[in-house]
Structure 1
């Protein structure tokens, strides 16, 4: 598609959606790995309690927000791609 055209290249949009899906999966996988280790690591005391009780849960909340935001972006890309297909077929 020429630079002065309006619209999108649906193959590029699909690639972007795939990249977003991969990023979401990687974040979820990393969270699961870290969460398992947080629960099993031998670490006692007030620092450990604070980390397990506040710091790690806060980080998980932020990571879940990132996942949610990426899912929203992915949905937008999907919608825009679908609209391009519809417009191109008209």
Structure 2
């Protein structure tokens, strides 16, 4: 869904599950749970994460993650275009109340 796509995008931008979660006003635990759900749902993981520690951890989109995100965003564009046409049709059916 759009929230998971936004999370993927923010992980790509920040290199961090924690930072991406904070940007979405989401706890690290919730962000990590969503990452685990997405990784489990696809044949290949979408996010590659390394644990923190003295050198710090990090996260990055895998090739599969980048492909899933690109395809999802394209699907959003297609749906928005189709929706605009339908919305115009519905608006044309409304009464003029001015």
Alignment TM-score, normalising by the size of structure 1: 0.43
Q: Select the structure that is richer in strand.
A: 2
Q: Computing the radius of gyration over CA atoms, which structure comes out larger, 1 or 2?
A: 1
Q: Select the structure that is richer in helix.
A: 1
Alignment TM-score, normalising by the size of structure 2: 0.40
